[in-house]
Amino acid sequence: MARKIVVTSGKGGVGKTTVAANLAAQVSLRGARTVLCDADFGLNNADVVTGVENAVVYDVVDVIEGRCRAKQALVKHPKFTNLHILSSAHSAPERYISPQAFKLVLESLSPNFDFVFIDCPAGIDEGFHRAIAAAEEAIVVTTPQISAVRDADKVITVLKSYELESVSVVINRVRGDMLLSGAILSPEEIAEILKTPVLGILPEEDEVLLSEMTDKTKAFRLLALNLTTEKKKMFDVTKKYTGFVGGLRRFFRGI
Ligand SMILES: Nc1ncnc2c1ncn2[C@@H]1O[C@H](COP(=O)(O)OP(=O)(O)O)[C@@H](O)[C@H]1O
Ligand SMILES: [Mg+2]
């Protein structure tokens, strides 16, 4: 049976889809049969982010309305061969999808996969509840900004009303230079505020998604390792800014 993990946050734009897609890709590279399911029926961009949008034939709504089986709606990723993408409502974006129907689709896939990542919409209304109700575990994505951490805190409170097996936090878009200068909240401070364990730290990096060996890819590899094993290794975002070269980097950035 697959581990069903929702990737959520309070705030929009903090990196839910980025985290869900890259984490799913890295977990799949570790040999796990993985599904990335788009539960964001409004923006539905998981297929775009993973670059398979032109290969989408069926989506979740087609499965629920009986036009195909769940397995037929999966798009196999051309590069990450263990990764499959299940798109949300391209065919009928306005259609009401009940939490039960959505959950049943994921349950029908569960015996054939090891991981199902659910990309949650922003906010804490209907779409959020539908995504959470289908999951057994939650990853809350935040950035080190106070407003994002405050929203993450609200979401974690709401998550307590669900019987989830685990809730953890991923801190995205962390700038090593700002961390060193104390301009942003540290991972330790965030863990303390949220009273929730940190599963991973991801650097701010303007790289093409699912790309080669960037710092972001290394950080996502560690995140996948932390999720799939007992290990808890954090990516060091400050490494780039320490030592002689790092010192120069900070000097020229004026920090
Ligand atoms: N670590 C990062 N470094 C740089 N840009 C990022 C990072 N994470 C996300 N982004 C960018 O932030 C924007 C919002 O990310 P997205 O994953 O779509 O957020 P959400 O799904 O929470 O709305 C996208 O343009 C994405 O490329
Ligand atoms: Mg998104």
Quick check: 47 and 87 in contact, CB under 8 A? yes
If one residue of 6, 18, 47 were mutated to test the ligand 1 pocket, choosing by the most ligand atoms within 8 A of its CB, it would be 18
Q: How far apart are CA 48 and CA 84, in angstroms?
A: 13
Q: Can you give the pLDDT at residue 93? A: 64
Tell me, in angstroms, the distance from the centre of ligand 1 to residue 3's CA: 24
Q: What is the dihedral of CA 239, 221, 12, 169, to 10 degrees?
A: -80
Residue 203: which of 7, 6, 62, 22 has the closest Cα?
22
For ligand 1, which residues put their CB under 6 angstroms from it?
9, 12-18, 122, 172-173, 202, 204-206, 216
Which regions of the chain are under pLDDT 50?
208
pLDDT reported for residue 254 = 66
All structural domains of the chain with their residue ranges: 3-253
What pLDDT score does 43 carry? 84
Digit-coded pLDDT (tens) for 150-170: 999 999 999 999 999 999 999
Ligand 1 centroid from CA 176, angstroms: 17
Closest ligand, as measured to the CA of 173 = 1
pLDDT given at position 233? 95
User: How many A from CA of 120 to the centre of ligand 2?
Assistant: 7
> 3-253 adopts what CATH topology?
Rossmann fold (3.40.50)
Count Cβ neighbours within 10 Å for each residue of 7-25 and write b for 16 or more, e otherwise: bbbbbeebbbbbbbbbbbb
